[in-house]
Amino acid sequence: MREPSPETLFFMNISGEKALLEVIIPVKDRVEVIECVRSLTAINQVKRVIICDGGSTDSQCVEALYQLQQQPHVEVLYFPEPGFNKSRLLNQGIRQATSELLLISDADILWNEAALKAVTSRVWSDSHMICCIQDVEESQPGSVALKRDRYTYHCTIESDVAVVEVVPWFEDRGDRRPGCGLICAKKTTLIALGGYKEIFRGWGWEDLDLLIRATLVGFQVGADGKVMHLSHSDKVRNQHYGNTEPMQTRNRNIIVCLQSLAEGVLTGDLPYETILQPKRKKIQVRLPPSKNYE
């Protein structure tokens, strides 16, 4: 029997079968999605790209989605509603996916095979692993995305008490930033977490909320690989929320996240019959003192 080539070996699961990847992309009025999908479909091991559209009306984006829908390995699903609830669209995509291995992508990311190899190999080597992209490079040096105040989290778990602390991110990566929302995981992992919480409004933090919950229930969170982000102004980030300043919605969503965790809610809003409710923990939450939390 012919041996698998090195470039496909990393997509083999433990039984030696080829593990094909499905990609979920939430979108609304982002014409860049066509470039993102092209970068993905150029990689042979991508079985299908599932685009979840939240009701695009921009003529260029509508045309791009029409063109993409004609491609054999692309499916465009429509869930029109006011605003842009990224978490709800991601949950819809998770429900529709059939592959064992899933990748969550934004609409403005250019992928490469090396990055997919990096994150998928980490997930296959550890059944309790979620792997996100380690470095996102901006297509425009000096992009506003590199200048924004950033926060990350620390979780300390002792017995039945967990402490979740949101802390400033001080690491300077130059022209790169972390890709916490670009996540590779097994579908069973995302189902066990209940997918994403749909309580967030506007841009920011739904991805970190998922990673925090994953950590609290015992999953490992890793980071690897490098991709390109098609830089754009902040206006795009909250175009469906009155062009609110992104840091304002991000900070509000941090508080919403911590309030929900303090109530012991560890599962998302993915409607799925087999979600297992984790053992409830007493969760203490802490915010850093900052004027951004007014």
Q: Are 220 and 128 in contact (CB under 8 A)?
A: yes
Please tell me the predicted confidence (pLDDT) of residue 261.
95
List the domains of the chain with CATH numbers: 6-293 (3.90.550.10)
pLDDT at 241: 80
Please give the pLDDT value at position 231. 87
Q: Which segments of 54-168 are extended strands (E)?
A: 74-78, 101-104, 109-110, 129-138, 151-158, 161-168
| Per-residue pLDDT tens over the stretch 3-53 | 444 444 445 554 444 568 999 999 999 999 999 999 999 998 899 999 999
Range scoring the smallest mean pLDDT among 107-121, 190-204, 235-249: 235-249
Question: What confidence score (pLDDT) does residue 232 get?
Answer: 67
Segment 133-184, tens digit of pLDDT: 999 998 877 666 556 788 899 999 887 889 999 998 776 666 778 899 999 9
Q: How confident is the model at residue 281 (pLDDT cuts 50, 70, 90)?
A: low
Read off the pTM: 0.89
For 29, which DSSP code?
Answer: S
Q: What is the pLDDT of residue 157?
A: 85
Q: What angle do CA 260, 266, 267 make, to 5 degrees?
A: 105
Amino acid at 127: S
Distance, in Å, from the CA atom of 18 to the CA atom of 20, rounded to the nearest integer, reads: 6
